[in-house]
Amino acid sequence: MGGNIAKGVTTNMLFRSTGLGKTELTADVVNISRQGDYIILHVDTLEPVRWRIRAAFCCKDLGTVIKLMLKGSIMGLILWPRNWRKDSHPGEF
């Protein structure tokens, strides 16, 4: 049911927005592309609505994301294979 990032790998991202109240959207990353100086992330929401969401970010934004991902708690999650099991729900976020 998830989006194909690599063969056999699926995603189920969760989204929340203050504009949607407590509604939680589930989504799959379906593509990433370049358009000019921007990287475009394409996400298809699955429930409770079906939308195509696109996020455009530039190199400065990407640098910020990489810098934030270098935090110890984030790197531990990414690099420790035990964490690559079925994800538990993050609760309120």
pTM for the model:
0.69
Q: How many CB atoms lie within 10 A of CB 13?
A: 16
For the chain, the C-alpha Rg in angstroms (whole number) is 15
Q: Which of 24-33, 36-45, 71-80, 82-91 has the lowest mean pLDDT?
A: 82-91
Confidence check: pLDDT of 13 > 80: yes
CA–CA separation, 69 and 78 (whole Å): 9
From the list 42, 59, 60, the residue with the least C-alpha distance to 51 is: 42
Residue position matching structure tokens 């991902």: 69
Any idea where the domains of the chain sit in the sequence?
13-81
pLDDT, position 60: 95
3-state secondary structure of 81: helix
What is the tens place of the pLDDT at every residue in 29-73? 999 999 999 999 999 999 898 999 999 999 999 999 999 999 998
Q: CB of 43 within 8 A of CB of 25?
A: no
Quote the mean pLDDT of the chain. 84
